[in-house]
């Protein structure tokens, strides 16, 4: 069984910074990609940033230049550094991992962590 455990998040005023991290544990062959999605109030869950094992990165246009995603393959951890936060960044941030089990591929989600940016 694979588990994604998230930490970080919280409340900050606009212009501030927050960090969220996620660590994968359990039995698996390798992690293909890890990333963060967010779901704002009354909105669908959308990609924020993702990074694959080779460190190729994709960001949502709305966070480019403000957020930085990084990954520690040895620790199965992905971190999202969020700077210059704006109220529109408010939402529940979910960690996502796409994992290879030797034969099958599966996507996993963390429980979500709240990020609130006040104006």
Give the tens place of pLDDT for each residue, 101-118: 988 999 999 999 999 999
81 close to 67: Cβ distance less than 8 angstroms? yes
**Gap between the Cα atoms of 12 and 118, Å rounded:** 6
Interval 22-77: pLDDT, tens: 999 999 989 999 999 999 989 999 999 999 988 899 999 999 999 999 999 999 99
**Gap between the Cα atoms of 47 and 2, Å rounded:** 21
51 close to 57: Cβ distance less than 8 angstroms? yes
**Gap between the Cα atoms of 68 and 50, Å rounded:** 10
- Pairing status of strand 18-25 against strand 77-82: antiparallel
Beta bridge partners of 19: 81
């Amino acid at each position: 069984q694979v588990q994604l455990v998230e930490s970080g998040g919280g409340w900050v005023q606009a212009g501030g910074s927050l960090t969220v991290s996620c660590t994968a544990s359990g039995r698996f062959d390798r992690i293909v990609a890890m990333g963060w999605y967010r779901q704002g109030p009354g909105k669908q869950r959308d990609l924020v940033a993702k990074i694959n094992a080779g460190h190729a990165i994709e960001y949502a246009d709305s966070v480019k230049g403000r957020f930085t995603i990084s990954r520690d393959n040895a620790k199965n951890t992905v971190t999202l550094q969020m700077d210059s936060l704006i109220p529109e960044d408010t939402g529940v941030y979910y960690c996502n991992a796409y994992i290879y089990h030797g034969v099958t591929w599966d996507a996993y989600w963390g429980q979500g962590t709240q990020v609130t940016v006040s104006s």
